[in-house]
Amino acid sequence: MNPEALATAILTVLAPIADERRPGEPLALTAGDIVLERPRNREHGDWATNVAMRLAKQFGANPRELAQQIADGLGAVDGIAEASVAGPGFLNVRLEAGAAGALAKVIVDAAEAYGRNDSQTGRSINIEFVSANPTGPLHIGHTRWAALGDAIARLLDASGATVAREFYINDAGAQMERFAGSIVAAAQGEPTPEGGYAGSYIADIAQRVLADRPDFLSLEQSEQLLVARELGYQYQLAEQKDSLAKFNVVFDVWFSERVLHAKGDDGAPSLVDQAVDRLRVQGHVFDQDDAVWVRTTDFGDDKDRVIRRSNGEYTYFAADAAYYLNKGDRGFEHKIYLLGADHHGYVHRLKALAGAAGDDPEKDVEVLIGQLVSVGGARLSKRAGNIIEMDDLREWLGTDALRYSLERSPADSPLSLDPELLQKRTNDNPVFYVQYAHARTHNVARNAADSGVDRSAFAPELLTHETESALLGALQEFPRIVAFAAEVREPHRVARYLEELAGLYHRWYDNCRVIPQGDDPIEDVHRTRLWLNDATGQVLRNGLDLLGVSAPERM
């Protein structure tokens, strides 16, 4: 019996109680309204709920009295061994061993599908993250957002949402001109221009430009800048894509900022032009001092925003508006932006923009702000000179250790990574601890096969050891953890769950044998424990996959 089945059983028991205490009033509850928790002390049972305390007032009942009525009704439900009342009205439920143990076969049969749920079904979500300028290598800040953004997308997908991972390419604006000027200077052997980009990677790009365009140095300066900008952009964007792919992050959409500013073939207005008109139709655009403004203060912004200056030039806010509207035009009802610690000002701005576009700022747009991350002993990039590169981190610490460590802490907390710890092959290293548990499940299965233990029998009522009860209880929690982590956008909840599950598995391994000792015969308890072993391996594997981390079979 899983939590959903237990919640349904409680609802079934509550229905006649409601009819008795509130004749003619329907019970307006669903299984999702029944909150079930694991008791801190497992001697109190498998599950606990405060449903009686929550309903007592509207039922006109004493909480303990109502809890006892529910407990009496649950005592007759198949799969429930005992229901008891504690404290002011808490309800504790203990499942029969067979009902609890049946989960092991459910998990093995479900395989990769176990943990997937429908809590986000029907939602179309665009999640934008990393979105670096194509003017240099990805750095440590981008690395954190790459890990978190991809993990959030995986969680949303596992919870039934239609998800698109999007990278916004900042390929328009002054930074691209400075980038081009830096490449031209390097190609001509001149110093980096003031405000330009330094580092040996610029010199490398310049050499590639010279190789691809042997006539480069003979071009007019304006043509040199154009060629340098376009070729450098292509080289750098390709490098960023390669860095992300090696980090197990693949985007569905690479959206160029230039698209927003491009006129149609027939001179039709650009998306930025159209954005001003569309916002004006919504009634939140006004003209003042020869400029065009959006009244974002109507939606909680600290000041109204200029969208087009008095000289006719658009502001960055205009591109933000056009981009936001374009996401909606592409069918994305919900937009998630993952931004760095220096982008706090964007929260009110984007929410106000959603409101000005006619959307619900509290439901249709979400802005997550990440905090800084540091790595002890990390050296600045030799190529870029002033950053810690994603590729250097990945090659140093490994994709698995780096992703896992970045995902096991909340995004809004500063993070300092310990490279010495992350390179250890000991239980002190969280990613090693979880991966080792998974590898151990495979080792147990291999040894079982060599000893003649298979899954030809399944007798869940034999899984009675206290470590088996605890392990099964944790396995039951996985779908709920996935759904909740998706809802609150917090992959670290999956990581912490996996560490707890690994600990419970290791304790079970130390106490319950899958392979008989000595000449003892193979019995159904051994075969059933193999089901539990393989179920645990499956959940560890599914959880690591949600984090974009590998699940090795041998370590």
**305-308/80-86 β-pairing:** unpaired
The distance of Cα 510 from the centroid of its chain, to the nearest Å, equals 33
Supply 304's token pair: 């109204």
Q: Is the dihedral of CA 162, 167, 168, 169 positive or negative?
A: negative
pLDDT at 342: 78
pLDDT at 442: 98
Supply 427's token pair: 């239980």
pTM of this prediction?
0.89
Residue position matching structure tokens 């239609």: 162
pLDDT at 382: 67
Q: Does domain 3-95 have CATH number 3.30.1240.10?
A: no
pLDDT at 443: 98
What counts of helices (H) and strands (E) characterise the chain? 20, 13
Strands (E), 132-288: 162-169, 253-256, 285-288
d(CA 75, CA 83): 6
d(CA 93, CA 347): 44
What is the SS3 assignment for 261?
A: helix
Q: Specify the domain boundaries for CATH 3.30.1360.70 within the chain.
A: 3-95
d(CA 336, CA 338): 7
pLDDT at 408: 95
Using one digit for the tens of pLDDT, what is the confidence trace for 44-102?
788 899 999 999 988 888 999 999 999 999 988 988 999 999 999 999 998 888 888 99
> For the stretch 437-457, what's the b/e string if a residue is b when 16 or more beta carbons lie within 10 angstroms of its beta carbon?
bbbbbbbbbeebeeeebebee
Supply 400's token pair: 């698995």
Q: How many CB atoms are located within 10 Å of the residue 237 CB?
A: 18
Q: Does domain 97-171+173-252+371-555 have CATH number 1.10.730.10?
A: yes
d(CA 312, CA 421): 55
Q: Specify the domain boundaries for CATH 1.10.730.10 within the chain.
A: 97-171+173-252+371-555
Q: Does domain 257-367 have CATH number 3.30.720?
A: no
- How is the chain split among helix, strand and coil, in percent rounded to 5? 55, 10, 35
Low-confidence ranges of the chain (pLDDT < 70): 42, 382
Q: Specify the domain boundaries for CATH 3.40.50 within the chain.
A: 257-367
pLDDT at 355: 93
